[in-house]
Structure 1
């Protein structure tokens, strides 16, 4: 399964340290998890959602990355309630029963967010991201007529 991430260069490691420090939509602070997108476009949309509408001061070190993981994600139920989302995600991580879990994306419901448990034994076999530079300004600028 090919999985995608759009991230800034300093945060390429697949260790889940960001969500561990700050929490994430599906996990509480103190729990490492790595979030991937099932599609490259979803990876871009998720990051774009949190950027200012005026792209003039955003960082210019974004990388679009992908890796292949030979595992089938466990499907977690989509719920609206934030506390329930975190309970479901925390329970999944704590159980250690699978390397990957899939949840429907709130940004693009036709695609999935794939969470990886970096504490799962199979995570040691996950290859680092292959990457290419990604520039929001270039991507979102209108072509000249």
Structure 2
């Protein structure tokens, strides 16, 4: 399976997590966020960057997850009803942190908070199977200038 990550070009040559806090992890927990499609990766960037800095130089990271790598799935019906609301970051961070600390899998499939029925894939760089996940290539990416905050 291929997943996608859009990032500034200077960070696109390796699979490295920043440890910054996000929806499914607390600060200091290292998780790589990827998306099932380039389009969702684009929307995630636009939302999280608030439309700022989109004229920088970006790349799409095309990442291969072998079919034999276990993927844990979080289904929306198992989450709090308003899990996608910004006020629920703490609950989501606890769920993602529990997955990360358990070491159950190298990949966690989570629903997108932006687009219903779309999926993001979190990668755990500390998991032994992470070494089997590979950066296949990078591609130039330009945000359409019509995209505004």
TM more than 0.5? yes
> Which structure 1 residue ranges, 5 or more long, are not aligned?
none
Q: Which residue of 2 aligns with 1:45?
A: 43
Q: Is the 8 A contact 1:67 1:129 kept in 2?
A: yes
User: 1:68 Cα shift?
Assistant: 1.3
User: 1:88 Cα shift?
Assistant: 0.5
Q: 1:97 aligns with which of 88, 101, 104?
A: 104
Q: 1:126 aligns with which of 125, 133, 143?
A: 133
Measured on the aligned residues, the alpha-carbon RMSD in Å equals: 2.0
Task: Give the SS at the match of 2:135.
Answer: coil
Q: Which structure features the higher share of helix residues?
A: 1
- Paired with 2:96 and 2:48, the residues of 1 have a C-alpha distance of 21
- Paired with 2:32 and 2:49, the residues of 1 have a C-alpha distance of 20
1:1-145 matches, within 5 Å, as 1-12=1-12, 13-16=14-17, 18=18, 20=19, 22-53=20-51, 58-70=54-66, 71-76=69-74, 77-79=78-80, 80=83, 81-136=88-143, 139-141=144-146
If the length of structure 1 is used for normalisation, what is the TM-score?
A: 0.83
- Paired with 1:43 and 1:108, the residues of 2 have a C-alpha distance of 11
If the length of structure 2 is used for normalisation, what is the TM-score?
A: 0.81
> Which structure 2 residue ranges, 5 or more long, are not aligned?
none
User: 1:60 Cα shift?
Assistant: 2.5
Q: Is the 8 A contact 1:78 1:103 kept in 2?
A: no
Q: Is the 8 A contact 1:78 1:104 kept in 2?
A: no
The count of aligned residue pairs is 135
Task: Give the SS at the match of 1:23.
Answer: coil
Larger-Rg structure: 1
By relative contact order (CA 8 Å, sep 6+), the higher-ranking structure is 2
